[in-house]
């Protein structure tokens, strides 16, 4: 059996090596490294795949969130609703722009934003809400969009972990994650379901005016070269990464299928283990399984993680400390006990290996050691 990886990018690369190598060499030969044809083609192809009007590539997922907040005109003092149970980037960009993050609980089944808690934290200063489609499953966007419409605030979807996932509304309309709110953002970090071989990100919108703002901000605030109409930044997806992403986009549905097959194997193996709660699938969303995250009850999670790692099963915790309790965010006034759902999850969740290249032998080994630890 090959060593088990938390994410196995090398084996995946070997399967598309000829395509990738040829595409990268083509960019090298063209020397069109910045804003070259590969970038434009990738944006167009991703737009078609997502069925969204505009895709604006940028340097990474964190930049995408920052540029989105700048594009909606958020000013210092404006409040932004965001889950505390998320990767730090979601809140980091809020703080960097001197906005105020208002931390919101998550639903303990889906790990996505708790709309009732969000409603309770709306004020006259609220400018936007950022639902995070955590681990690969969509937040309840019917609820999010209804709240935003009533409160007249923007919706910026953090889709870094859910590219390609589908949300089905109460009306039966199906849309891709990141294409429902005013702006969607995503990351192409190598471990993502659609990942490049460096850094990359993108913003998605169906709004022409917002698309123009996003493009300008990402390009030093200019529409015409050397004419800078607004304050912007320098955030570009380079042509080599775009070339890689064009190839991997063609395989995204295949990759999602492989992840779901691995998740089904786990689900079947753990269904009788009362100490394990397997990922909940909401009726309104499918799951891309960026992470396969279980909840543990009556088990020392940290001891299990150590045991698995010692036995060749890499397991990780996403996330051990919620954002509202991070040292860098104490100025926003939260303290331990303020968000019991979120704080409870940080001591329960454990993510098992999840990627497109898991073999049956590897899955059996992982399951065997998870159950062995629990049953002693």
Which residue has 């910026």 as its token pair?
Answer: 156
Q: Which of 177, 357, 174, 163 is nearest to 261 (CA)?
A: 357
pLDDT of 376: 80
Q: In what order do the strands lie in the sheet with 154-158?
A: 54-58, 201-205, 183-187, 154-158, 126-129, 79-83, 100-104
Is residue 213 predicted with pLDDT exceeding 90? yes
Task: Provide the β-strand partners of residue 100.
Answer: 79
Over range 155-173, report the average pLDDT: 97
Q: Give residue-wise pLDDT tens across range 9-49.
A: 999 999 999 999 999 999 999 999 999 999 999 999 999 99
Q: Give residue-wise pLDDT tens across range 87-117.
A: 999 999 999 999 999 999 999 999 999 999 9
CA gap 127, 78 in Å, rounded: 6
Over range 327-354, report the average pLDDT: 96
Do 333 and 99 meet the contact criterion of CB atoms below 8 Å apart? no
Taking each helix axis as running N to C, give the angle between helix 17-30 and helix 239-250, from 0 to 180 degrees, rounded to the nearest 10: 150
Gyration radius of the chain over CA positions: 21
Provide the whole-model pTM. Answer: 0.97
Go through the domains of the chain in sequence order and give each one's CATH number: 9-250 (3.40.640.10), 252-375 (3.90.1150.10)
Cβ-based neighbours of 3, under 8 Å, separated by 6 or more: 312
DSSP at 155: E
Over range 57-84, report the average pLDDT: 98
* Sign of the torsion angle spanned by Cα atoms 213, 214, 215, 220: positive
Is residue 138 predicted with pLDDT exceeding 90? yes
> Which tokens is 234 given?
């320098």
Dihedral angle computed from the Cα positions of residues 303, 308, 311 and 313, in that order, rounded to the nearest 10 degrees? -160
Do 129 and 118 meet the contact criterion of CB atoms below 8 Å apart? yes
The half-sphere exposure of 177 on its side-chain side, counting CA atoms within 13 A, is 29
Q: Give residue-wise pLDDT tens across range 252-278.
A: 999 999 999 999 999 999 999 999 999
Q: What is the DSSP string of 172-201?
A: S-EEETTSSSSEEEEE--TTSSS--SS--E
Cβ-based neighbours of 308, under 8 Å, separated by 6 or more: 314, 315, 366, 369, 370, 373
Q: Which ranges of the chain would DSSP assign to H, the alpha helix?
A: 9-15, 17-30, 37-50, 61-71, 89-96, 115-120, 141-151, 208-218, 239-250, 252-270, 301-310, 340-345, 360-375
pLDDT of 307: 98
CA gap 45, 58 in Å, rounded: 15
Residue 37, burial from CB neighbour count under 10 angstroms (0-12, 13-18, 19+): middle
């Amino acid at each position: 059996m090959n060593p088990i990886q938390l994410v196995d990018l090398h084996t995946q690369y070997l399967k598309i090596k000829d395509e990738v190598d040829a595409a990268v060499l083509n960019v090298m030969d063209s020397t069109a490294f910045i804003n070259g044809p590969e970038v434009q083609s990738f944006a167009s192809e991703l737009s078609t795949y997502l069925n969204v009007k505009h895709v604006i590539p940028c340097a990474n997922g964190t930049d995408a969130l920052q540029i989105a907040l700048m594009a909606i005109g958020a000013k210092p003092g404006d409040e932004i609703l965001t889950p505390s149970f998320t990767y730090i980037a979601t809140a980091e960009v809020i703080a960097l722009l001197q906005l105020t993050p208002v931390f919101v609980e998550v639903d303990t089944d889906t790990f996505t934003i708790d709309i009732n808690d969000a409603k309770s934290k709306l004020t006259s200063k609220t400018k936007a809400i950022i639902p995070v489609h955590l681990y690969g499953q969509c937040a309840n966007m019917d609820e999010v969009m209804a709240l935003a419409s009533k409160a007249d605030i923007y919706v910026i979807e953090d889709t870094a972990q859910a590219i390609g996932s589908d949300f089905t509304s109460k009306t039966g309309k199906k849309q891709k994650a990141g294409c429902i709110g005013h702006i969607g953002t995503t990351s192409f970090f190598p471990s993502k379901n659609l990942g490049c071989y460096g850094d990359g990100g993108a913003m998605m919108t169906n709004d022409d005016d917002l698309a123009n703002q996003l493009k300008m901000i990402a390009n030093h605030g200019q529409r015409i070269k050397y004419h800078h109409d607004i304050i912007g930044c320098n955030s570009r997806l380079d042509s080599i990464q775009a070339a890689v992403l064009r190839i991997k986009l063609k395989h995204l549905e295949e990759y999602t299928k492989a992840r779901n097959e691995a998740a089904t194997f786990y689900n079947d193996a753990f269904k009788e283990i009362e100490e394990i709660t397997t990922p909940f699938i909401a009726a309104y969303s499918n799951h891309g399984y960026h992470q396969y995250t279980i909840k543990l009850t009556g088990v020392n999670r940290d001891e299990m993680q150590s045991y698995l790692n010692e036995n060749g099963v890499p397991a990780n915790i996403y996330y051990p400390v919620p954002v509202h309790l991070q040292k860098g965010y104490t100025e926003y006034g939260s303290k331990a006990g303020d968000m019991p759902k979120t704080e409870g999850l940080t001591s329960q969740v454990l993510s098992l290996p999840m990627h497109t290249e898991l073999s049956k032998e590897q899955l059996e080994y992982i399951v065997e050691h998870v159950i062995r630890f629990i049953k002693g």
